[in-house]
Structure 1
């Protein structure tokens, strides 16, 4: 089952930031600076976390994973609001695997 997962990161080094950006970009849609909206299975999420563990400095960087609900529940549309530009719903066809 796929879940909407909001992935946000604070990476202190620009070189590591670019690496993290490129990795997470392969799993979801870039919605703001250092924020991605992804549709992940448990396996996808575990794989993403394992890949990122090897890139970041654990005492300097932080990556947050916020599970927003299942894809079928449309939880993002109900639970995430925005001011300014509208949140564009994530479509699976936009993802690159």
Structure 2
């Protein structure tokens, strides 16, 4: 299923900057960045729960926010991208 993860981490102090780096790294392990604080993640139910738990253990709920948008398995006709940024097809072959 496709899940869009969006976060806003308060970076007014050193601890916030560290949280931001950790949150971004966790998201990179599960998907691709489509905006500064937005990731597309192609995951199954187990991976989604692991991702949620990792992110929730990292953020400070008093200062930060975290959103999960479950787009589902039939996401191809639900996501549209315009502009200069190239988006990788997560279902397609990966060539380096």
TM-score, normalised relative to structure 1:
0.79
Match of 2:65 in 1: 62
- Considering fraction of residues, name the structure with more helix: 1
Q: What SS does the corresponding residue of 2:51 show, helix, strand or coil?
A: helix
Gap change, CA 1:24 and 1:93, over 3 Å in 2 = farther
Q: What SS does the corresponding residue of 2:49 show, helix, strand or coil?
A: helix
- Segments of 4+ moved more than 2 angstroms: 85-89, 91-94
Q: How many residues align?
A: 88
Q: Deviations over 1:44-66 (max 9, x none)?
A: 11111111122110111111111
Q: How many Å apart are 1:82 and its aligned residue?
A: 2.6
Structure 2 unmatched runs, 5+: 11-15
Q: Deviations over 1:21-75 (max 9, x none)?
A: 01111011111101111111111111111111221101111111111121xx3x2
2:92 equivalent to 1:89: no
Q: What SS does the corresponding residue of 2:58 show, helix, strand or coil?
A: coil
Match of 2:53 in 1: 50
Among 20, 37, 41, which residue is 2:40 paired with?
A: 37
Q: CA RMSD in A?
A: 1.8
Gap change, CA 1:93 and 1:48, over 3 Å in 2 = farther
Match of 1:4 in 2: 2
Structure 1 unmatched runs, 5+: none
